[in-house]
């Protein structure tokens, strides 16, 4: 049996599919680049399917055609999500075999034709509907108030649901334990744990950006750092984290070929961000990010994850319910993005966006009225509290009480006791799941704990 035939047989024999690392482990005699080339070719030809992104991408044999009597194939767009006639037209096209779809490259006219606050992907009536669904009691408070108030719940829901769309097998309970207790699930790949933790860090970055004074939206700086947070320790080349793509990429199971020249990508990203920042309505802004960031593919990988989180920033700033992607099926999301990639049409993604947002708001309706008011002292001195905790933990052998007392000199005398009590309280419940909030590393927490136990 030839080497390509043996490799293809390994894929076809696997029930759950194999990652590139798994294939190389089974066939150590083959060069990585050679295997990657064969996988890309077989994917284009439809001999295999590819799902997920980066190191988590799995290759499997194509599903057998469903019998005519079948109600619905698990690999088909879920029938319970309502679609317009235009969306069904897009779906009919992207459901064709690769060979029947016309190869297409990046269409600059797609972005150039969009005029902020004039064109609009979401009709005014639909935007009103979304506003009614997502309105919260904090609508008229400072930007980011609501997202900060629901942060603990948001970190779990959005981290889990967005990772699930990438093939992550963590359960929601696993995610809760990882985020709240810093405890990785047994039997899960390290890449899955890293993906969840990266989401947590990225969401915290977004929420902090939403409440920061002078933060006007998705700047280039914020986008790059958002991608860097999501990509940490997940890309083959770490220098690709938070950096414009330097090479061509293929889109799995698609005939779409994005731009390959870094200068062109950079130019179009500037146009994209300028137009994004000019959009007045938060939902239009959110949906625009979900359409154009993946379409441009500005990064070497992890573009869709970046767009899903970026789409939440306008909602955070407007104190609207977040878009968590809970219960969004991967096969629905992938087909909707294919419609954008290959046809530059947004109707299918728009129908999915509206359905997904309604699901998200239903999850949060119950907690809208139950939110405790943020502690005003904690809110007023949050940066000082963070800085003090970081300073104390990073100097485990120094006098912690003296360091705290010195920091309190910046606080008006009337508030010192309360702020000092908050710092001590936070130090007592410090654990791995909240380290990013303070800019700390697990090794620093370990050194701090060891120093306390030695006293």
Question: Residue 356 domain-assigned?
Answer: yes
**In which element (H, E) is residue 338 found?**
helix 330-343
Average pLDDT over residues 102-125: 96
Regarding whether 386 and 366 lie in a shared domain, the answer is no
Half-sphere exposure of 285 (CA within 13 A, CB side): 22
User: Whole-angstrom Cα distance, residue 377 to residue 289?
Assistant: 35
Annotated binding-site residue? 301: yes
Average pLDDT over residues 267-280: 97
Annotated binding-site residue? 303: yes
Regarding whether 8 and 134 lie in a shared domain, the answer is no
Q: Where a domain ends, among 341, 371, 401?
A: 371
Domain coverage including residue 406: 376-453
Regarding whether 365 and 381 lie in a shared domain, the answer is no
Of residues 325, 277, 159, 132, the one with CA closest to residue 229: 159
| Vertex 306 angle, CA 303 and 307, to 5° | 85
pLDDT in tens, 331-369: 999 999 999 999 999 999 999 999 999 999 988 866 655
Question: For residue 71, is pLDDT > 50?
Answer: no
Regarding whether 359 and 303 lie in a shared domain, the answer is yes
Question: Residue 344 domain-assigned?
Answer: yes
pTM of the model: 0.69
pLDDT in tens, 20-66: 887 887 888 888 888 888 888 888 777 888 887 777 788 888 765 43
Regarding whether 220 and 189 lie in a shared domain, the answer is yes
Question: Residue 216 domain-assigned?
Answer: yes
Regarding whether 55 and 126 lie in a shared domain, the answer is no
- How confident is residue 431, by pLDDT bands cut at 50, 70 and 90? confident
Question: Residue 75 domain-assigned?
Answer: no
Query: Among 149-158, 257-266, 342-351, 418-427, where is mean pLDDT lowest?
Result: 418-427
Annotated binding-site residue? 302: yes
Of residues 204, 212, 317, 221, the one with CA closest to residue 269: 221
pLDDT score for 454: 64
Regarding whether 161 and 220 lie in a shared domain, the answer is yes
Q: Which of 31-40, 107-116, 143-152, 360-369 has the highest mean pLDDT?
A: 107-116
Annotated binding-site residue? 429: no
The domain tally of the chain equals 3
Half-sphere exposure of 411 (CA within 13 A, CB side): 25
Question: Residue 71 domain-assigned?
Answer: no
Q: Where a domain ends, among 354, 371, 388?
A: 371
Regarding whether 333 and 219 lie in a shared domain, the answer is yes
Question: For residue 5, is pLDDT > 50?
Answer: yes
Question: For residue 74, is pLDDT > 70?
Answer: no
Query: Among 106-120, 185-199, 212-226, where is mean pLDDT lowest?
Result: 212-226
Question: For residue 67, is pLDDT > 60?
Answer: no
pLDDT in tens, 370-423: 555 567 788 788 899 999 999 999 998 888 889 999 999 999 998 898 899 889
pLDDT score for 16: 66
Residue 294 bridge partners (DSSP): none
Question: Residue 176 domain-assigned?
Answer: yes
pLDDT score for 283: 98
Q: How far is CA 300 from the centre of its chain?
A: 15
Question: Residue 43 domain-assigned?
Answer: yes
Q: Where a domain ends, among 351, 371, 391?
A: 371
In 299-377, the DSSP E strands lie at none
CB 82 within 8 A of CB 91: no
pLDDT score for 255: 96
Regarding whether 136 and 119 lie in a shared domain, the answer is yes
What are the DSSP calls for 18-74, one per residue? EEHHHHHHH-TTS-HHHHHHHHHHHHHHTSSEEESSGGG-EEEPPPPPPPTT-S--T
Question: For residue 137, is pLDDT > 70?
Answer: yes
Question: Residue 108 domain-assigned?
Answer: yes
Regarding whether 391 and 352 lie in a shared domain, the answer is no
Annotated binding-site residue? 304: yes
Q: How many C-beta neighbours within 10 Å does residue 126 have?
A: 17
Regarding whether 256 and 121 lie in a shared domain, the answer is yes
Higher per-residue pLDDT: 47 or 85: 85
pLDDT in tens, 207-251: 999 987 545 689 999 999 999 999 999 999 999 999 999 999 999
Question: For residue 69, is pLDDT > 50?
Answer: no
Annotated binding-site residue? 345: no
User: Whole-angstrom Cα distance, residue 58 to residue 53?
Assistant: 8
Which domain CATH number covers 257? 1.10.3290.10
Regarding whether 155 and 129 lie in a shared domain, the answer is yes
- How confident is residue 9, by pLDDT bands cut at 50, 70 and 90? confident
pLDDT score for 186: 94
Which domain CATH number covers 16? 1.10.10.10
The per-residue pLDDT of the chain, averaged, comes to 89
pLDDT score for 15: 58
């Amino acid at each position: 049996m030839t080497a390509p035939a043996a490799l293809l047989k390994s894929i076809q024999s696997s029930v759950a599919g194999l990652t590139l690392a798994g294939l190389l482990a089974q066939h150590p005699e083959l060069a990585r680049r050679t295997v990657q080339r064969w996988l890309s070719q077989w994917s284009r030809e439809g001999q295999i399917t590819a799902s997920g992104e980066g190191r988590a991408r799995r290759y499997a044999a194509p599903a057998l055609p469903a019998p005519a009597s079948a109600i619905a194939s698990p690999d088909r767009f879920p029938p319970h999500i309502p679609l317009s006639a235009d969306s069904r037209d897009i779906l009919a096209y992207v459901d064709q075999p690769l060979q029947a779809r016309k190869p297409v490259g990046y269409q600059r006219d797609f972005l150039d034709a969009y005029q902020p606050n004039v064109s609009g992907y979401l009709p005014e009536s639909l935007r009103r509907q979304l506003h009614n669904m997502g309105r919260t009691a904090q609508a008229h408070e400072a930007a980011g108030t609501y997202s900060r108030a629901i942060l603990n719940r948001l970190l779990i829901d959005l981290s889990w649901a967005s990772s699930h769309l990438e093939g992550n097998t963590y359960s929601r309970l696993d995610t809760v334990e990882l985020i709240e207790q810093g405890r990785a699930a047994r039997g899960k790949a390290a890449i899955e744990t890293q993906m969840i933790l990266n989401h947590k860090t990225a969401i915290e970055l977004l929420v902090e950006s939403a409440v920061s004074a002078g933060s006007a939206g998705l700047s280039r700086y914020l986008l790059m750092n958002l991608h860097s947070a999501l990509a940490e320790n997940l890309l083959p080349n770490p220098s690709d984290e938070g950096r414009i793509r330097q090479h061509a990429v293929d889109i799995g199971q698609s005939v779409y070929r994005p731009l390959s020249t870094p200068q062109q990508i950079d130019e179009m990203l500037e146009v994209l961000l300028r137009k994004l920042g000019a959009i007045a309505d938060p939902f239009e802004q959110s949906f625009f990010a979900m359409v154009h960031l993946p379409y441009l593919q500005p990064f070497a990988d992890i573009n869709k994850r970046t767009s899903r989180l970026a789409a939440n920033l306008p909602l955070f700033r407007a104190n609207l319910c977040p878009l968590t992607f809970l219960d969004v099926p991967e096969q629905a999301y992938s087909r909707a993005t294919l419609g954008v990639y290959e046809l530059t049409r947004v109707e299918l993604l728009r129908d999915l966006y509206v359905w997904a947002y309604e699901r998200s708001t239903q999850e949060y309706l119950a907690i809208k009225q139950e939110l405790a008011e943020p502690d005003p002292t904690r809110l007023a001195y949050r940066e000082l509290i963070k800085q003090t905790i970081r300073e104390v933990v990073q100097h485990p052998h120094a006098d912690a009480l003296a360091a705290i007392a010195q920091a309190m000199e910046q606080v008006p005398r009337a508030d010192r006791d309360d702020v000092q009590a908050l710092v001590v309280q936070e130090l007592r419940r410090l654990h791995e799941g909240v380290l990013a909030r303070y800019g700390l590393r697990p090794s620093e927490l370990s050194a701090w704990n060891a120093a306390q136990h030695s006293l």
